[in-house]
Each structure stands twice: as structure tokens, then as C-alpha cells.
Structure 1
């Protein structure tokens, strides 16, 4: 009588190792990026609803918010790609070799993750730069001392929250790009 491990063909150890790396890296990047995307999204939601209630218009931050929203949308696609990595690793660990993705398909998916991460970092950097420009302009336009004559030149908490959302986006995209680069290196070594 054959045991279950003798009955079905085993995955070669090198393929099993690569599959585990892809799956584990995909899950770690998925959860970290999803967490940062939710935080950035909630901060942006708070900022956009707070802008509606504010009597002080702040046109300069609109550009930063726009780029932050674009960065979060790209981040959500990156989260999807990380989930796709987990499925790719699972398919690669299947004992049936006909279900394994080809090396070219695996590399193409990982390269797409790198490109998405770089584009997301660029968008988030544009948002962070424009928001930082507004914050610096507001801070240097305030006269020294306690009295502020123009209430539109006050740096509000909502102004800083836009920067927080952009920095979270940069961190999340950086993590996703590093994870994809590491996976590409591991797959190319195989």
C-alpha cells in the first residue's frame, strides 16, 4: 500500500523553495501595503471631508491631494499584484507540472510589480513635493511672532495629513518595489 507522498509526484526542492519565497513575500507585501493603503485612504477621506467643512479655502493642497489619490489607486493595484504573487507561488508548488506557470510568465508578472511600484512612488513623490511646497510657502509667509494677520497662511493639521498620506504611499510603493526586485532576483537565480 502506497502512502500519499509516494502516490503523487513531488515538486523538486528548488521549485518548492522558489514557490515558498514567492508566496511568503507576496503575503507579507500584500498585508503591509494593504495596511498602508487603508491608512492613506482614510487620511485622504478625512482631509477631503474636512475641506468641505472648512471656511478657509486652500487651493494649493488640491494638487497634493490629487497625486496622493493617484498614488493610492496605484497602490491598490500593487496590492492586487501581491495577492497574485501568492497565487503564482501556490501554482508553482503544485505537484502537477502542467499547472506550473512558465518562468517567462512569472518574470513578466514580477516586472509588472516593479513598474507599478516605481510609477506609484513617482506619483506619491509628486504629491509629497507639491504638498511640501505649500507647507513651506505657508511657513515662510508667516511673520515672526505670535500674531498671524492672514488666517489663510496658517498651517493646519489637514495640510500635514496630506503629506502623511503621500509619505505612507511612498513607503508602501518602496516596500512593494523591493519585494518585487527580491523576487525577480530569486527567480532569475533558479
Structure 2
């Protein structure tokens, strides 16, 4: 059992790491939420725009599917960032009974790393599928101005799917780097 002086000497370090986790959680929360909203809106626009055209493009449906999966994981990651803020706030509390243990904090941050890596994988699959469709469309067009098949035209809506996936990759990358940094900070204390 700790004496009162040991608890006081431990408290500034615990409060410091709590403050770091809380502030980092809030910054990452807002950055990832912004990127999730942008990705979601771009995907919504691309998906609804596909229904307005007469040109079926089944290949892009796979890219949209993986992008939507990436955005869903990104929304869960945003929730996880909010959870970091709550952990940080609990560690800043002067009552040591309310502090989460180092093992629990480490476990939660590791799950955040895993979550972000899964999100990167999903959005990379979406970006790869979409870019493959766009490359196939671009090389199937004959050189020159005349377009013989209107189904092989690369439309702006097709590029929006790539944009949504790239935003998702960036958001998950930020989440991964943040979680790894927090994990290192927790291990130092």
C-alpha cells in the first residue's frame, strides 16, 4: 500500500500523462471526424450521382463498398478517440481510485492501433479497386479526341470514390500514428 507522500509524488506524472492522452484524444477526434465527414459526403455524392447516370459501372461499386466499410471503421475510431479523452480525464483526477490501470490504458490504446490498421486495409482495398477501374477505363480509350464507347469515359464521380478512399487512408494513418505515440508515452511513465 502506498503512503501519502508516494501518492503525491506519483500524481504529477499520472496527471501529466492524463493531460497528454486527453489533449491528443481531442485533437485526433476533431481531425478524424472532419475527414470522416468529408469522406462520407464525397461517397454520398458519388453514390447518388451513379444513380443519375445511364452508364452502369459495376467496377466502382466495389471501391464504394470498401470505402463505406473504411468510413464505418473510421467512425468507430472517432469514438475511440473520444474514449481517449475520457481516459485522460480520469487520470487527471486527484482520486487515484478513479485512475485506470496502466495495463488497461495500454490495452485500449493497442486496440486503437489495431482499429486504425484495419481501417487502412479497408480503404486501401477500396482505393486499389477504384484505381484499377480508372486505369482500365483510361487505357481502353483510343488515342485522340473521338470516344467510341461512352461507358469507358472517366467521370468526375469516379474520381470522387478515389478521393473518399484517400481521405479515409489519411484519417486512419493519423489515428495509427497518434495511438502509437500515445502507447509510447504510456510506456515511458
Measured after TM superposition, the shift of residue 12 of structure 1 is: 1.9
Distance 2:47 2:128 in 1: 19
Describe how 1:84-163 pairs up with structure 2 within 5 A: 84-163=83-162
1:33 aligns with 2:32: yes
C-alpha deviations, 1:34-87, integer Å up to 9, x for none? 000000000011111111111111111000000000000000000000000000
Structure 2 counterpart SS, 1:60:
helix
Residue aligning to 1:181: 180
Measured after TM superposition, the shift of residue 189 of structure 1 is: 0.5
Residue aligning to 2:3: none
TM-score, normalised with respect to structure 2: 0.94
Residue aligning to 2:49: 50
Distance 2:9 2:41 in 1: 46
Residue aligning to 1:4: none
Could you tell me whether the CA contact under 8 Å between 1:11 and 1:94 is conserved in 2?
no
Measured after TM superposition, the shift of residue 183 of structure 1 is: 0.1
Measured after TM superposition, the shift of residue 16 of structure 1 is: 1.4
Distance 1:187 1:62 in 2: 42
Choose between structure 1 and 2: higher helix proportion: 2
Measured after TM superposition, the shift of residue 17 of structure 1 is: 1.2
Structure 2 counterpart SS, 1:12:
helix
Measured after TM superposition, the shift of residue 11 of structure 1 is: 6.9
The 1:74–1:149 alpha-carbon spacing in structure 2 relative to 1, beyond 3 Å, is same
CA-atom RMSD in angstroms: 1.1
Measured after TM superposition, the shift of residue 132 of structure 1 is: 0.4
Unaligned runs of 5+ in 2: 1-7
Over 6 Å off, 4+ runs:
none
Distance 1:98 1:24 in 2: 22
Unaligned runs of 5+ in 1: 1-8
**Aligned residue pairs, count:** 182
Distance 1:11 1:33 in 2: 33
TM-score, normalised with respect to structure 1: 0.94
Deviates more, 1:62-71 or 1:15-24: 15-24
